[in-house]
Structure 1
Amino acid sequence: MARFICICLIVCWSQWSVAQKVHAHNDYEKPEPLTAAIRSQAGSIEADVFLVDGKLMVAHDKSQIQPGRTLDSLYLKPIATLFGQNKSRQSANGSVSKDRKYTFQLLIDLKDNGVEAIEELQKAVAPYRTCFDRAMNPMAIQLVVSGSRPPIANWIDYPAYILFDGRPSELYDDETIKHVALFSDTFQTYSRWNGEGEMPDKDRETLKRFIKRAHAQDKPIRFWAAPDNANSWKQLAKIGVDYINTDKVEECAKALK
């Protein structure tokens, strides 16, 4: 009986660890940054960030930076506010939602000055540490740095609450891989499928091999620049893509239920 229960727990954990989730691409460009993505229970939320005069500014391009649109004002502080609103006897440090099974990763795509930007990120997170450090709070939001990342050899020197967006072309030793949150790559490397009709068999098998390799290392997978429609979401989910990259968060979440 104990062996049966153990097997069931392993199966459930395996299914949970590779469960398909929505990745809210360029979330900050939406009418309700953060709020709408949380309402749809997106598993990953993306913000593009530039370091300007010591401040982490959120924008797609440097020319689009607007005063006041900082990582702190759009994401860190609102997330901390939600944690404060969702405290209980069971969760003294709170959670981001009333649904205490729900959490997500905040993928911060650094557009330049990666090393300096991460230093500022640590300072910005410090007042809200229990909301972003899972060693302090299991329901904390996982911070993932993408884009202008520091040299791979230095990843092990960063606090454990900061993980990195890995690439399939990169090599990691046993210690460094612990600091990788997921693997990401452009869909165009594997397929030119436009999302209409059935995915070509050859492309599907190529993708499945890559996904299997990522899952063997206990890492979820995300493809950017993938077709963004209901047909493609379902087919990508079916072959095991963990984070479905989309600009249509609510629609995608409903399609994958």
Structure 2
Amino acid sequence: MLRFALLGLIVCCSLQSIAQQIHAHNDYEKPEPLTNAIRHRAGSIEADVFLVDGKLVVAHEKSQIKPGRTLDSLYLKPIADLFARHKNRYSAGAVSDDRKYTFQLMIDMKDNGVEGIKLLEKAVAPYRTCFDRSMNPMAIQLVISGNRPPIADWIDYPAYILFDGRPSEQYDDETIKHVALFSDSFQNYSRWNGEGDMPEKDRETLKRFIKRAHSQNKPIRFWATPDNANTWKQLDKIGVDFINTDKVEECAKVIK
């Protein structure tokens, strides 16, 4: 209970500016999983997940799995607790006092995504209003990345579960509705190291890709980007929607 009380206090005292463009990469590895990302208004928070003995366990590698570090204990239950704290008789609640702030929880499935989503649906059931925007417009959007089910099957999943798309994949008119965003490796577009100005040729290549994603009404994220202030500023300037970073606090100060 003390942990949840502290979580609520942190959010209530959080920054006023909203940095919706931050993607908190490998958030679970940080000293304050979830809380620091919320404090700095990250628009996307990432958790890597393995299936272990019928549970969704959070870790970067299987060798790093620790007892008790489940998706439910680190993310789902704390998020539900925050919604309960910011609920009144007129609404189903929000994740903070700032009723304009919400985010996507990106769940990077490290093994069987089909079985993982089945477990996720069961885990989310007690907190459905916190993760289903058809029930609550301020709900946290669940996005499946990593080992995803076959694309053709995405339309069969509940509407509150969306998927991390890839620019190399083909989607029909129905499937695209289940894509939350497009993600790709920055290294596929540029070998720039984040120092000085991004090469103009690379900048134009990135802009074309971003324009194509935006024409489909989808935000864009690049992983494996240089992680420094100069890079964040330049990616922000060319229209990258979610800036991938391990340095949430520093990034929030730069792009706010």
Answering whether residue 21 of structure 2 is matched by residue 32 of structure 1, we say no
Q: TM-score, normalised by structure 1?
A: 0.92
Amino acid at match of 2:202: D
Counterpart residue number, 1:11: none
- 1:71 corresponds to which letter in structure 2? L
Cα pair 2:20 2:42 within 8 Å, conserved: no
Q: Report deviation, 1:88.
A: 2.3
> Which stretches of structure 1, 4 residues or more, deviate above 4 A after TM superposition?
none
Partner of 1:69: 69
In the aligned structure 2, how far is the partner of 1:61 from the partner of 1:120?
Answer: 20
- Within-5 A mapping of 1:219-238: 219-238=218-237
Aligned to 2:11: none
What do you get for the CA RMSD once the two structures are aligned?
0.8
Instruction: Map 1:100-179; keep pairs closer than 5 Å.
Output: 100-179=99-178
Map of 1:3 onto structure 2: none
Offset, 1:102: 0.1
Distance across 1 between alignment mates of 2:102 and 2:204: 31
Partner of 1:204: 203
Q: State how far apart, in whole Å, the 1-side matches of 2:20 and 2:81 are.
A: 27
Equivalent residue number for residue 53 of structure 2: 53
How many Å apart are 1:195 and its aligned residue?
A: 0.5
Work out the percentage of aligned pairs sharing the same amino acid. Answer: 83
Matched residue SS, 2:105: strand
In structure 1, runs of 5+ residues without a counterpart are 1-18
Cα pair distance change 1:20/1:101, threshold 3 Å = closer
TM-score (norm 2): 0.92
Alpha-carbon shift at residue 163 of structure 1 (Å) = 0.0
Is the counterpart of residue 243 in structure 1 residue 204 in structure 2?
A: no
Shift of 1:20: 5.8
Helix, strand or coil: the match of 1:205?
helix
In structure 2, runs of 5+ residues without a counterpart are 1-18
CA distance in 1 between partners of 2:72 and 2:153 (Å): 25
Q: Deviations over 1:47-85 (max 9, x none)?
A: 000011110000000010000000000000000000000
Q: Is the 8 A contact 2:105 2:142 kept in 1?
A: yes
In 1, the alpha carbon distance for the partners of 2:109 and 2:82 equals 24
> Secondary structure at the residue paired with 1:98?
coil
Correspondences of 1:177-196 after superposition (within 5 Å): 177-196=176-195
Once the two structures are superposed, residues 144-176 of structure 1 have per-residue CA deviations (whole angstroms, 9 ceiling, x without a partner) of 000000000000000000000000000000000
> Number of aligned pairs?
238
